A and B are shown apart, each in its own frame.
Chain A
């Protein structure tokens, strides 16, 4: 069954959706969507550098994404620019630099560049599948482990610290998890759309949840449905897989907006 490229793609897309949903909740809560976008955009530079240096692209992506996140944190303290200016600057510079380095390395023809930008999930190998699932499970386990202090510091950093939560450690671990999710999500929807996989399922889950935990679980489920449903849709309609997955997530978000008014109307009826 795993020999079928479509089944492999389905499993990878669903796996990434399942991890991206809960991780994305924090991007929403901490108003860090653009921060996530910047991390994702820098991933292309990671691929390019990985190729130039002859190491694996995944390692390159992982490293560059973390370096980008760290330099953002540093620049926010050191440079007198508004946060959104800084993010826009870094995000697009990293993306452009990635395209340039990729061109210099001569390893990107038009087709594969498009694959990096919008994903090429149908091309995933068994190795990719194994990495996404093993990595994804580890990621979810770690997230579950730091969940409570991470939620606490999201509500109020000083309060969490005063009550003994390991704030710095959790922030660093969260960033590493994000880097992993970006590296995996890149294969599915590409660097330009990775942040959509993080944010849209979480946003769809928000209006339907009463606790942070509910929202995370719901975001994971919506992420899985987006990945699977979007990919299936792309097969039926013969559309690009990555963008189809994101469109599916967008549709689920619209549906989530309708659920509350409808259920309220049903209750009062």
Chain B
């Protein structure tokens, strides 16, 4: 099967208030692949997402996306003001008018149909993420752009969330670009990792990236944890290839593993 490129950005450069937020950034997503954008806080991940969505014009470089490519977007923050009475149902109809049944189907797919009549302000972090994901599915997207899909989701919910995303990719054959600032299990559900710190530090399949010098420098010894977790999670998740990276094996793995610690690296 030939690769279908859904979106491609080349040479993206953004300068704001005298600071270079992004420079020389190339990134692309093909149909059927999950690309994870990782990097420390303030590395320009959300800025890059906004460029890809066409919300922010780069100073240099360009984004190429066929107009036929439908994009579903899940933003990082949703500061829901409790003064706005907003049900999940109304939230699903926020900008479009989906055909009847579509809202229910989308919610069902993310396991949140029971929340249809709930108030948005009452949702837990995990429920909110699932509802937002369902919203993004409404437009039958070819490309899903998920900014921090596990934000506010607890440790156990995280794995479920990644499993759900993998399921969606398998079912719809769409491409996914997701953003994360922690290195956790995210790696297990990813085909390709792009490590960003204002520029692209390194990119490749997870096993390659964790062995990369720049990645090690950026995330320090915690980088090893990921490999450990990755290979651990690997047993449970599909993945035909057994590309083992010899560069960073056993002795590179420290024992620590808490999410908080990994997040601190950012």
Contact = CB atoms under 8 A, between A and B. Distances in A.
Contact of B83 (A29, A149, A156, A211): A29
Contact of B87 (A28, A148, A211): A211
A155 B85 contact: no
Given A156-B78, A158-B53, A162-B71, A210 B94 contact: no
B84 A29 contact: yes
The interface centre, meaning the residue of B53, B81, B83, B87 with most chain A CB atoms within 10 A of its CB, is B83
B87 A162 contact: no
Nearest to A205: B85
Nearest to A214: B85
B: contact size bracket: 20 to 34
A151 B95 CA distance: 9
Contacts of A158: 50, 53, 55, 73, 75
B236 to A, nearest CB: 33
Interface string A126-159: 0000000000000000000000110110111011
B96 A163 contact: yes
Given A148-B95, A160-B95, A212 B83 contact: no
Contacts of B95: 148-149, 152, 159-160, 163-165
A215 B85 contact: yes
A209 interface: yes
Interface of B is mostly: loop
B75 to A, nearest CB: 5
A210 B53 contact: no
A111 interface: no
Contacts, number: 64
Interface string B216-257: 000000000000000000000000000000000000000000
Nearest to B135: A159
Given A155-B78, A158-B53, A162-B53, A211 B94 contact: no
A264 interface: no
Interface string B46-82: 0000100111000000000000000101010010110
A161 interface: yes
A209 B85 contact: yes
A210 B87 contact: yes
A215 B71 CA distance: 32
A165 B55 CA distance: 12
B206 to A, nearest CB: 28
A209 B83 CA distance: 10
A255 B129 CA distance: 36
A175 to B, nearest CB: 19
Interface string B111-149: 000000001000000000000000000010000000000
Given A159-B73, A206-B83, A210-B85, 7 more contacts: A155-B80, A158-B53, A160-B94, A162-B54, A206-B85, A211-B87, A212-B84
28 contacts: A28-B83, A29-B81, A29-B84, A30-B81, A149-B95, A151-B94, A152-B94, A154-B84, A155-B78, A155-B84, A155-B86, A155-B91, A155-B94, A156-B78, A158-B73, A159-B75, A159-B78, A162-B73, A163-B95, A163-B96, A165-B95, A211-B85, A211-B86, A211-B90, A212-B84, A212-B85, A212-B86, A214-B85
Interface of A: 28-31, 148-149, 151-152, 154-156, 158-165, 206, 209-212, 214-215
Give me the 5 closest cross-chain CB pairs, A-B, nearest first.
Answer: A163-B95, A29-B84, A209-B85, A162-B73, A162-B53
